[in-house]
Chains A and B, each alone.
Chain A
Amino acid sequence: MSYYDIDAILTDAEKIPCTFQLDIPDLGYLDNAPDRPLKAGTKVNLPFWLAEMLAIANAGDVDGKQYITFDLPPALSNDVVQALKADPRSVPLRDQSAHFYALATRMMELSDEPELASVLRKTFVTRASEIALHARKVGGVGHSKGKGSEEGSNLGIGGAGEEFLRGLDEWERKLFRKAHDGAKATKEWMETIKRH
């Protein structure tokens, strides 16, 4: 992860639900009450980078209390995980978060979620083969439109395919691009071979 990686920065800006464990003066504006101190037990959505620092840092109390505890963000809630378990292909991940996998891996670094990890792994791999299929198809159709030769593929992109592609998160979009570039390069080579 590079310092200038825009996706990493955007992932860090995702909000996660946190609960404050201590009273904190002068932070009331986070809870829309600027004139009062922030009470312990208040739930606030904080960006990941802030929540991470506060969750790890020790408040310096004798009890070793943390400033906040955090929950999984709605994108990784039980509903979503159950839906992914049922059928990974039918969940539009982008609606949950544009950086779904990146956020999930960051969360898993903070708290141990073995079940989440295995569900995500299955989801990623299952969706990957679907993505590769679409990447090949789109290449065929675009190609036949562009040059008017060769049928490319008889499958075409139907409504369902388009919907699936709209639901890809950033990782999956990159995957799609790579698969598409590969298929396109090979197709172009097939064309050049006949010319000389």
Chain B
Amino acid sequence: MALPLPPGLTPAEVSFLAEMELVTVIPRQRLDSIELLSGKTPPLRPPHRADLPLWLALLLKKQRRANILPPPWLHPDSLREIIHQETTVDPQAFSEPPPARHPRADPARPGRTLPIHQDDDGFILSPPFRPGSCTADAPVGFLPYHWLEVAEMLLAHAADDIGAPAGEVRGLLRDLVEVRAAKLRNSTSVLEGFGGGLMSLRGVGAMELAESRGFVLSVVDGVRKIGASTEAARREAEEEEEGADASDEDMGL
């Protein structure tokens, strides 16, 4: 009544947030560093690669001043591997989110990797705030939090930079979306038994959450309402038992 929007973010808001993800570009022209609220962008000097926010990268791409390097997980082979993982290896769970921090080469000590799980600002483990999940050195075979939004935007505006045929990538993405949507629908069945009222949404992307939020919340709420009286009875019984125990102890003392 008060607010026409349902709780949570709308798809438009989710994709707006996804534009903050960093992607790797290969500039074609020089561009000095720009001071933004979130910090300075790296100065662009062709042919050195640089990480830019997606919105800026798309802007430069439209002006033909840069090419976007697609993130490695968008490669058809990586997508096929994820689909294989989702359909045959583990048809129940969603594929794992990217590891907290994959080992990277340490520029100071050649031949060694940087310690895992450490960032300049401390530990950043939760998906929406994890940096570098869509840049060129992102891990292969893992879907980041904003996978669908970033993939769709790149396909729509930078299809010629993807490398692989855009139609193939699009087809694989569509398969992946369908497989995961079916999983999300059926994941409600774990709520069937009493006591097992947990749905795991690990590895679900931002756009999928935005799409299914209303449905999932309603299902959980419905199950809660149906079980409310049983739950109340169980609690009462438990309290009585505890009360009995307590009085026994009192007697003992």
Contact = CB atoms under 8 A, between A and B. Distances in A.
A120 B192 CA distance: 9
A189 B148 CA distance: 12
A175 B189 contact: no
Nearest to A109: B229
A178 B192 contact: no
B226 A124 contact: yes
B190 to A, nearest CB: 8
Interface string A34-65: 00000000000000000000000000000000
A117 B223 CA distance: 10
A132 B228 contact: no
Nearest to B62: A196
Nearest to A179: B215
Contacts of A194: 156
A89 B171 CA distance: 32
Contact of B219 (A128, A135, A192): A128
Interface in A136-183: 136, 171, 174-175, 178-179, 181-183
Residue from the set A114, A117, A135 with the largest chain B CB neighbour count within 10 Å: A117
Contact of A126 (B189, B217, B228, B230): B189
Contacts of B181: 136
Interface string B210-226: 11111101110011011
Contact of A185 (B210, B217, B233): B210
Contact of B215 (A101, A104, A178, A188): A178
Given A105-B225, A124-B222, 6 more contacts: A125-B192, A125-B223, A179-B215, A182-B214, A183-B211, A186-B207
